[in-house]
Amino acid sequence: MDTKTRFAVRSLKTLIAYYSRQGLISHLGRERKRSGNVAFRVLIGTILSHRTKDERTELASKALLAKYATPQALSKASLGEVRRLIKPVGFYNSKARYVVECSRELVERFSGRIPDNVSDLVTLTGVGRKTAGCVVAYAFGKPAIPVDSHVHQVSNRLGLVETKTPLQTELALELLLPKPLWKDVNEAFVVHGQNVCVPISPHCSKCPLRGKCPRTGVAHSR
């Protein structure tokens, strides 16, 4: 294990330990502990979560899945009713169409089963690589690194990668980190990006990695 990989592993484990003590775990992290159709819950929850706070995502997901718990049921739902149920989330008009169409595709193309691989998942309406990675990692427990804006930003600030896009970050992190740690990256880096390593003026003074993080690209901090 080279120096950069050792630093990456130590940083990731430090963040996991720190936020576990704080009780700050993500919506998707909690989802893994639930019973029922976990893969469908993770898929729908992640589609709804785009540019939306965890609390609102969870509220909308619970309301929607309480009434439409399977792809078969949601595929037959009216858009008006779905919009009403998911109104707490941002862009609920578009997301209502995405989840209904995605459910129809699951029924028609996959017999109502949720694919366990990124290549099939990204063919579904409303599903990008980040959403697909969340389903693979959180629902099926397979190695994957879902990369959103938080993961991309934290990875670059830590100097783990030098990338311009989330896809480049995903591929670079896969080369850097041991595969058993892949599924922990999203949860740890998202919580860190939401609470400490925020986009503007990050809270470097209270960061659990202060003194070790190179703060790449940070001009002003608190």
Average pLDDT over residues 171-197: 95
| Overall fold of domain 32-139 | Endonuclease III; domain 1 (1.10.340)
Q: What is the pLDDT of residue 23?
A: 84
What are 61's two structure tokens? 């997901």
| Overall fold of domain 3-25+144-206 | Endonuclease Iii, domain 2 (1.10.1670)
Instruction: With cut-offs at 50, 70 and 90, classify the pLDDT of residue 37.
Output: confident
Instruction: With cut-offs at 50, 70 and 90, classify the pLDDT of residue 25.
Output: low
Average pLDDT over residues 190-211: 96
pLDDT above 60 (res 35) = no
DSSP string, 156-188: HHTTS---SSHHHHHHHHHHHS-GGGHHHHHHH
pLDDT above 60 (res 31) = no
| DSSP 3-state of 127 | coil
Average pLDDT over residues 161-166: 97
Q: What is the pLDDT of residue 8?
A: 98
Q: What is the pLDDT of residue 210?
A: 96
Residue type, 115: P
pLDDT above 90 (res 27) = no
pTM attached to this predicted model: 0.86
CA distance 27 to 199: 20
* Residue 110 CB partners (closer than 8 Å, separation 6+): 120
Domain ranges of the chain: 3-25+144-206, 32-139
**Average pLDDT, rounded, for the chain:** 93
Instruction: With cut-offs at 50, 70 and 90, classify the pLDDT of residue 1.
Output: confident
Sign of CA dihedral 85, 89, 91, 96: negative
Q: Does residue 166 contact residue 152 with C-beta atoms inside 8 Å?
A: yes
| DSSP 3-state of 221 | coil
What are 70's two structure tokens? 């399977």
Average pLDDT over residues 155-182: 97
Q: What percent of the chain has pLDDT over 70?
A: 95
Average pLDDT over residues 207-219: 95
Average pLDDT over residues 47-62: 92
Instruction: With cut-offs at 50, 70 and 90, classify the pLDDT of residue 51.
Output: confident
pLDDT above 90 (res 41) = yes
* Residue 38 CB partners (closer than 8 Å, separation 6+): 31, 32, 138, 139
